[in-house]
Amino acid sequence: MKNRILNVFRHRALVQALVARELKARYRSSILGFLWSFLNPLLLMGVYATVFTIFLRFGMPNYASFLLTGLLPWIWFSTSVNEATVSVVSGGNLIKKVMFPAEVLPLVCVLTNLIHYLLSLIILIPFLVLYGSPPPEKVLELTPDMLVSSNPVWLFLSFAILVVIQLIFTYGIGLALSALTVHLRDIQHIVLNLMTLWFFASPIIYPAMQLNSKQVPSALKSLAIDFNPIAYLVIAHHKIFILRIAPSPVELGAMLIGSLIVLFIGYSIFEKFRDSFDEEV
Amino acid sequence: MQAAIELRQVSKSYRRFARLRQFKTLKGAAVRDLWRRPAMPESEKFNVALKDISLSIEPGKTAGIIGLNASGKSTLLRVIAGITKPTRGTVEVDGKISTLLEIGAGFHPEISGRENVYINGAILGLSKSEIQSKFDEIVKFAELEDFIDFPVKTYSSGMFMRLGFSVAVNVDPDILLIDEVLAVGDAVFAQKCYDRIFDYKRREKTIVIVSHDLGAVQRLCDEVAWLHRGELMQYGETKKVIGNYLQEVTEGELKRYAQQHEKSVEKMSALEAPKDVSEEELPYMIGPAQNSPDPAERWGTREIEITSVAMRNEKGEERYVFSCGDTVFVEIGFVAHKRIEQPVFGVGIFRTDGVWCYGTNTMIDKKSIESVEGEGHIIIKFDSLPLLSASYYLDVAAHAENDHPYDYLNRLFTFAVRSDRPDMGIFRPDHKWILEL
């Protein structure tokens, strides 16, 4: 395992080059080019804001801020996973013809979308300032320790750690799915639909406490909140960007350990199938 | 001395079906145990690509891998490169490897040649600064100075190949693996590629080349490995191995062409042409239209009917594979159903791509035949048939002096010429070199 991580590190020039290739190629023939990295989340947010402030109301002031805060990390996650799932299959040419570390392919997907995510934050932060945040009690059930804003340095630091956690988690899932898809192409379609379900099952378009209603069975509620890694990630984003409260070190530590376990499992699956890639892609 | 590449009892077998895809659908996988379909026998599950290959290539040597299609050449190369893991056995490689299994693997069409050079270099294991220092050389070698900032999708296929080759050979590896990609671009660029490979040789790099081009293998390689159906038949000095390989291939071909000839003979009698067509309807004779390499045709009035066609070597044995310069007899058996005055017999030789290599007849050669009636044979002897390595059609015909056709057999009989000399063109005129200083 340790050698393998070193192996990926040794290929950082390759990872860097491939991420740059993806970024450059994506908007190459469009007139606005790289601006689309900003425009896409902005327009998507416009769509969601229209839907949820006009057609479906949640009765939350400044709802768009709440939505955008959870939506952006979700887009990073879901796009990365969808792309990573097919990355090994579509990178077949490289795997068959060049001595190529296949684990780089899903990593490139995750990193490319990380860049897009970080760029979209440039939209989010001024938006939150200009548009205003929803009242904290509408976003989360408040506990006394949440009433004081965190020190900005720690806030920023905890956000950086959060990004690392999500990176590890997403890469772990991407590794497992990309390897399995090589042998069973059906997985890419299953994943696509499961991601939609996952999206609605996570507290992104609604606050977590919405599930407190009696109509929601408590088993389902705990599945959506307590056993849903995305819920932890999204809620941590809500805390940082809307409540300006850094998640506690215990919280972050637990999430980090969880994501490392996912990476380990994902890597083990990838490793198990690795030798068959060049035959199957 | 430690070998640069050392294979010990390497075997490789491929599953015919993916582990999970033995079942065509998810449902199939799920109900496997309920359905209890008989398990596939072990021997049918695998395709054996390499069988127990032990091979040691010393540093600084250039080794060729030859063999028929599907003999495991490319698999062997991929095993050496570490792309494919052998099913059994060990591979040891001493030094940095660069592979040229496919030109421009990893090129992205939307981005510029310059950016692709960096990515391709990184894929081949170079660091950014290494690529930077070699960048000008790469572009110069590819002759793409004016185009390097255009997207690769605007390149011609020749430009694409040149750039890919240029990056790969500028990686400067200890071991270079090349799979059938030597002939890139025009003749000038191909020569540059050869020069670069010779340059590697001079610098004592280890090179392994897979190629069907025996001429190139002979020029470049010190040693050759001959694979046949996954087994190493022979590994050793280039000339010897190629000689043995050619002999084996020729023997296989002898059989194949002899079988094909039998089929042609059967087909000859099956090809029925209407016997009483008016002359205006018949195509203009002498030879068939040059642009119709296929299908086999037979036409004519059959007043003289060709009944057999055979090719023989100088010993009189029936043969359909010859070496360049062999003595060849073409023997045409015929029946003249009535007395025919002044018939003309002709032969034509066409390369299978349609090039008319030679044609003559008894009239051209002023060998006039007064008359024929009943059965007979006419034989044309080529003291030396100087055709180069290729497959050929043999056309035969009997007609009247005024071109009135009796029996034409076109594109029906085939033969091959095999040559171990890599000279080029259609035929080998008798020649020698004279140096005057």
ipTM given for this complex: 0.72
CB contact under 8 A, A99 and B119: no
Could you give the CA distance from residue B271 to residue B299 in angstroms, rounded to a whole number?
9
Tell me the chain B residues in contact with residue A186 when contact means C-beta distances shorter than 8 Å. 25-26
Burial zone of B136 (CB within 10 Å; 0-12 exposed, 13-18 middle, 19+ buried): exposed
Domain termination site, one of B186, B214, B235: B235
B240 sits in which H/E element: helix B238-270
Q: Which of 54-93 (B) contact A at CB < 8 A?
A: 78, 81-85
CB contact under 8 A, A183 and B26: no
Could you give the CA distance from residue B237 to residue B233 in angstroms, rounded to a whole number?
13
Q: In 10 A of CB A107, how many CB atoms?
A: 24
Q: Decide if A21 contacts B115 (C-beta within 8 A).
A: yes
Report field, pTM of the whole predicted structure over 0.80: no
Could you give the CA distance from residue B65 to residue B3 in angstroms, rounded to a whole number?
17
Could you give the CA distance from residue B392 to residue B411 in angstroms, rounded to a whole number?
9
Q: Decide if B330 contacts B360 (C-beta within 8 A).
A: no
- Among A17, A28, A99, beta carbon nearest to B83: A99
Q: Decide if B263 contacts B323 (C-beta within 8 A).
A: no
Tell me the chain A residues in contact with residue B126 when contact means C-beta distances shorter than 8 Å. 13
DSSP B114-137: HHHHHHHHHHTT--HHHHHHHHHH
CA-to-CA dists, residue B300 to A256, B228, B239, B283, B399, angstroms: 88, 46, 49, 10, 8
Tell me whether residue B28 is in a domain: yes
Residues B277 and B228 in one domain: no
Tell me whether residue B244 is in a domain: no
Residues B231 and B279 in one domain: no
For position B285, what pLDDT does the model report?
38
Could you give the CA distance from residue A70 to residue A84 in angstroms, rounded to a whole number?
21
CB proximity B295 to A under 8 Å? no
What SS3 class is residue B113? helix
CA torsion angle for B273, B276, B281, B282 (degrees, to 10)? Answer: 50
Which phi and psi angles does B3 have, rounded to 5°? -70, 150
Could you give the CA distance from residue B131 to residue B120 in angstroms, rounded to a whole number?
10
DSSP chain A: -HHHHHHHHHTHHHHHHHHHHHHHHHTTTSSSGGGHHHHHHHHHHHHHHHIIIIIS----TTHHHHHHHHHHHHHHHHHHHHHHHTHHHHTHHHHHHS---TTHHHHHHHHHHHHHHHHHHHHHHHHHHHH-PPPHHHHS---GGGSSPPPHHHHHHHHHHHHHHHHHHHHHHHHHHHHHHHH-THHHHHHHHHHHHHHHHSTTSS-GGGGGSTTS-HHHHHHHHTT-HHHHHHHHHHIIIII--PPPHHHHHHHHHHHHHHHHHHHHHHHHHHTTHHHH-
For position B28, what pLDDT does the model report?
53
Query: Nearest CA to A237 among A100, A81, A105, A128?
Result: A128
Q: Which of 89-108 (A) contact B at CB < 8 A?
A: 93-100
Chain B residue with minimum CA distance to A93: B105
Q: How far is A160 from chain B (nearest CA, A)?
A: 27
Domain with B320 in it: 271-418
CB proximity A130 to B under 8 Å? no
Residues B350 and B205 in one domain: no
**Of B75 and A161, which is predicted with more confidence?**
A161
For residue B22, what is the domain's CATH number? 3.40.50.300
CA torsion angle for A102, A104, A105, A106 (degrees, to 10)? Answer: 110
CB contact under 8 A, A17 and B119: yes
Chain B residue with minimum CA distance to A24: B111
What SS3 class is residue B335? strand
B215 sits in which H/E element: helix B214-220
Residues B228 and B293 in one domain: no
For residue B308, what is the domain's CATH number? 2.70.50.60
Instruction: Extract the tokens encoding B116.
Output: 């692709």
Q: For an interface test with B, give the residue of A9, A19, A21 to mutate (most B CBs within 10 A).
A: A21
Residues B90 and B141 in one domain: yes
- The residue to which tokens 């003595």 are assigned: B327
B295 sits in which H/E element: none
Tell me whether residue B258 is in a domain: no
Could you give the CA distance from residue B368 to residue B345 in angstroms, rounded to a whole number?
10
Q: Indicate the length of chain B as a whole number.
A: 437
For position B399, what pLDDT does the model report?
92
Instruction: Extract the tokens encoding B355.
Output: 């090039």
Instruction: Extract the tokens encoding B101.
Output: 């299994």
Q: In 10 A of CB A281, how many CB atoms?
A: 17
Residues B130 and B230 in one domain: yes
Residues B186 and B287 in one domain: no
For position B141, what pLDDT does the model report?
87
CA atoms in the 13 A half-sphere facing the CB of B292: 11
Tell me the chain B residues in contact with residue A95 when contact means C-beta distances shorter than 8 Å. 83
Query: Nearest CA to A22 among A119, A110, A120, A123?
Result: A110
Tell me whether residue B109 is in a domain: yes
Tell me whether residue B87 is in a domain: yes
B326-341 and B304-312 as β-strands: parallel, antiparallel, unpaired? antiparallel
For position B35, what pLDDT does the model report?
47
CB proximity B95 to A under 8 Å? no
**Cα dihedral across residues A253, A257, A258, A262: positive or negative:** positive
Residues B210 and B293 in one domain: no
CB proximity B48 to A under 8 Å? no
Check whether A100 has a pLDDT greater than 60: yes
Tell me the chain A residues in contact with residue B119 when contact means C-beta distances shorter than 8 Å. 17-18, 20-21
Q: How many CB pairs (< 8 A) connect A and B?
A: 86
How many structural domains is chain B composed of? 2
Burial zone of B290 (CB within 10 Å; 0-12 exposed, 13-18 middle, 19+ buried): exposed
Burial zone of B161 (CB within 10 Å; 0-12 exposed, 13-18 middle, 19+ buried): buried
Q: How far is A11 from chain B (nearest CA, A)?
A: 8
Tell me the chain B residues in contact with residue A96 when contact means C-beta distances shorter than 8 Å. 78, 83, 101-102
Tell me the chain A residues in contact with residue B123 when contact means C-beta distances shorter than 8 Å. 14, 17, 94, 98, 100
CB contact under 8 A, A98 and B21: no
B306 sits in which H/E element: strand B304-312
- Among B26, B105, B124, beta carbon nearest to A93: B105
CB contact under 8 A, A93 and B124: no
Tell me whether residue B241 is in a domain: no
pLDDT per residue, tens digit, chain B (437 aa), is: 678 888 888 888 877 655 544 444 555 555 554 444 445 555 556 778 888 889 899 888 899 998 888 888 888 888 888 888 888 888 988 888 888 877 777 788 888 888 888 888 888 778 888 888 989 988 988 888 888 888 888 888 888 888 888 888 888 788 888 887 666 667 788 788 888 888 888 888 899 999 888 888 888 889 999 988 888 888 988 888 988 888 888 777 778 888 888 888 887 777 665 544 444 444 433 344 444 445 677 888 888 999 889 999 999 888 888 888 899 999 999 999 999 999 999 999 999 888 899 999 999 999 989 999 999 999 999 999 999 988 899 999 999 988 888 998 888 888 888 877 778 889 999 899 999 98
Tell me the chain A residues in contact with residue B105 when contact means C-beta distances shorter than 8 Å. 93-94, 97-98
CB proximity B150 to A under 8 Å? no
**Of A174 and A151, which is predicted with more confidence?**
A174
CB proximity A12 to B under 8 Å? no
For position B436, what pLDDT does the model report?
92
pLDDT single digits (tens) A27-39: 776 777 777 877 8
CB contact under 8 A, A24 and B110: yes
Q: How far is A28 from chain B (nearest CA, A)?
A: 7
Which phi and psi angles does B342 have, rounded to 5°? 50, 55
Tell me whether residue B424 is in a domain: no
- Among B20, B102, B125, beta carbon nearest to A184: B20
For position B283, what pLDDT does the model report?
43
Could you give the CA distance from residue B223 to residue B236 in angstroms, rounded to a whole number?
5
Peptide bond into B295 cis (omega under 30): yes
Tell me whether residue B328 is in a domain: yes
CA A116 to chain centre: 11
pLDDT single digits (tens) A48-84: 778 877 887 777 888 888 888 999 999 999 999 999 9
- Among B81, B102, B122, beta carbon nearest to A17: B122
For position B282, what pLDDT does the model report?
44
Residue A52 neighbours by CB under 8 Å, 6+ apart: A58, A63, A64, A67, A205
Residues B102 and B192 in one domain: yes
